[in-house]
Amino acid sequence: MVLYREVQRVLQPWLTVLLAAPVGIVLFGLYQQVVLGRPWGNHPVSNRAFLLIAGALCLFVVWFLNVRLVTEVYPDTLVIGFPLLWPSRRIPLSDILSARAKTYRPIADYGGRGIRWNLFTSTKAYTAEGNRGVMLRLVDGRNVLVGSHTPEELELVLVSRTPQIAPA
């Protein structure tokens, strides 16, 4: 039974532009060569190779558009992960000492988004968008930041499910 579930998109507006540019160029080249029969440049690619390149690029874009950060709280486990990209991390609720909602700076604190590590604070961060999340302190002394649009709700679920977790 899932007590809490949040899905955050990875795709930001600037990434959309970054992905749209090569797709547009390849589709235009495909149109020029296959439909109009006018290959680009001095070294044209065969139609079969061009279709293969366009198909691979489209598959990559579709895959990338489906990458998301999924956070789920079960009765005894917190699961954080990027399905289709990286294996999920499972943290038993009994391993969490404290949980607190906080605001962070993705670039300054962790060098960007995704699965990041801050060596100075020994914190592993799982972020996709926004600048809010829940900082977890684990029994083994490590810290984990979970990005969230509703960090107060995530903190409340974690604190209410495990007696040893105290809001920090």
| pLDDT given for residue 69 in this prediction | 94
Global pTM value? 0.78
Q: Tell me the range of 11-20, 48-57, 82-91, 112-121 where mean pLDDT is highest.
A: 82-91
The answer on pLDDT for 164 being more than 70 is no
Architecture of domain 1-168: Roll (2.30)
Q: For residues 154 and 160, what is the distance between their CA atoms, to the nearest angstrom?
A: 10
| Residue whose token pair is 């302190």 | 137
At 81-139, the pLDDT tens digits run 998 888 999 999 999 999 999 999 998 888 888 899 888 888 999 999 889 999 999 99
Domain spans of the chain? 1-168
| pLDDT given for residue 165 in this prediction | 64
Q: For residues 72 and 35, what is the distance between their CA atoms, to the nearest angstrom?
A: 48
Do the beta carbons of residue 158 and residue 96 sit within 8 Å? Answer: yes
Is residue 139 exposed (0-12), middle (13-18) or buried (19+ Cβ within 10 Å)? exposed
- Diameter of the chain by CA atoms? 70
Number of Cβ within 10 Å of residue 123's Cβ equals: 19
DSSP letters for 71-96: EEE-SSEEEEE-TTTSPPEEEEGGGE
| pLDDT given for residue 23 in this prediction | 84
Do the beta carbons of residue 149 and residue 6 sit within 8 Å? Answer: yes
